[in-house]
């Protein structure tokens, strides 16, 4: 594997978005199995909200050596549960492994060949297992911020659905964060900021995400600045290789 360095600088900025990540945990909890693979885990900023320590194994897959070292340190000092382990590399390095759940949390938009990536991930999924993808929504919201952190694209429900991996059935496709969509639109049209400020992140997390927790189900998850897709491998479907 060639050395990879993540060029984005937003991971620390969003690390304390507690309301958003707690909301995400509630969305994903029914689909988190005993053995979980989190692709592009960064330094574990999202892992600590999603992993409650009751899993047999939670593999934090990260290709950046520096971020992987931070992950290992968090496991060593108890910031992450002991079921967590670090694997440096990509899904291409895990061909002999299998998982009950595979997560891509704000990761697929960083991958140029996204369909190929999800198809490979599907081969690592056990029968009855789930693949979950969360990504920023709506290409018309693409801003200098997206470009600065290495996003190739943003997704609509239609474009994310088009990535459905062979052999998997889609079980959920929805937008999240209605109120955040309005804020992102304001940034796109007015502020045109290349990077949100810490104060903006706090306001979004404390107020807009809480508003979205009410608005999203009321609007049947038809609006939002993020899009969530979840697929399942049928129990009768063998893993392809």
- Which pLDDT band, with edges at 50, 70 and 90, does 82 fall under? very high
In a domain, 194, yes or no: yes
pTM score above 0.75: yes
Confidence band, pLDDT 50/70/90 cuts, at residue 190 = low
Residue 12 has pLDDT above 80, yes or no: no
Does 148 have pLDDT greater than 90? no
174 inside domain = yes
Q: Per residue in 104-127, pLDDT tens? A: 999 999 999 999 999 999 999 999
User: Residue 55: inside a domain, yes or no?
Assistant: yes
192 pLDDT more than 70: no
- Is residue 113 in a domain? yes
Query: Are the C-beta atoms of residues 220 and 208 closer than 8 Å to each other?
Result: no
Is residue 1 predicted with pLDDT exceeding 50?
Answer: no
Is residue 182 classed exposed, middle or buried when 0-12, 13-18 and 19+ CB atoms within 10 A define those classes? middle
pLDDT of 155 strictly over 70: yes
Q: In what order do the strands lie in the sheet with 99-105?
A: 84-88, 57-62, 35-39, 99-105, 125-136, 226-232, 169-176
State the average pLDDT over residues 173-183.
Answer: 94
Give yes or no for residue 7 having a pLDDT over 90.
no
Is 3 a domain residue?
no
If one counts every other C-beta atom within 10 angstroms of the C-beta of residue 215, the result is 18
Give the number of domains in the chain: 1
Q: Please report whether residue 2 resides in a domain.
A: no
In a domain, residue 239? The reply is: no
Does residue 241 fall inside a structural domain? no
Instruction: State the pLDDT at residue 9.
Output: 57
The answer to whether 37 and 83 are in contact (CB under 8 A) is no
The Cα–Cα gap between 55 and 33 comes to: 7
Which domain CATH number covers 173? 3.40.50.150
pLDDT of residue 237: 57
Give the domain range for residue 86: 11-232
């Amino acid at each position: 594997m060639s050395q990879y360095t993540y060029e984005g600088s937003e991971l620390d900025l969003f690390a304390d978005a507690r309301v958003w990540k707690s909301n995400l945990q509630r969305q994903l909890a029914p689909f988190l199995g005993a053995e979980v693979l989190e692709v592009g885990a960064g330094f574990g900023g999202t892992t600590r909200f999603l992993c409650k320590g009751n899993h047999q194994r939670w593999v934090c897959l990260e290709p950046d050596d520096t971020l992987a070292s931070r992950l290992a340190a968090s496991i060593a000092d108890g910031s992450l549960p002991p079921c967590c382990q670090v694997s440096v590399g990509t899904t291409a390095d895990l061909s002999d492994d299998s998982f009950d759940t595979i997560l891509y949390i704000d990761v697929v938009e960083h991958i140029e060949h996204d369909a190929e990536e999800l198809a490979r991930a599907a081969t690592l999924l056990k029968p009855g297992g789930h693949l979950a993808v969360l990504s920023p929504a709506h290409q018309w919201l693409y801003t200098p911020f997206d470009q600065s952190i290495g996003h190739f694209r943003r997704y609509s429900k239609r474009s994310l659905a088009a990535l459905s991996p062979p052999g998997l059935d889609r079980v959920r496709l929805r937008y999240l964060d209605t109120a955040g969509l309005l804020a992102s639109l304001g940034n796109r049209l007015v502020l045109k900021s290349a990077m949100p400020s810490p104060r903006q992140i706090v306001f979004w997390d404390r107020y807009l995400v809480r508003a979205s927790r009410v608005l999203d189900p009321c609007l049947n998850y038809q609006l939002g600045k993020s899009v969530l897709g979840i697929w399942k491998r049928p129990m009768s479907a063998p893993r392809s290789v």
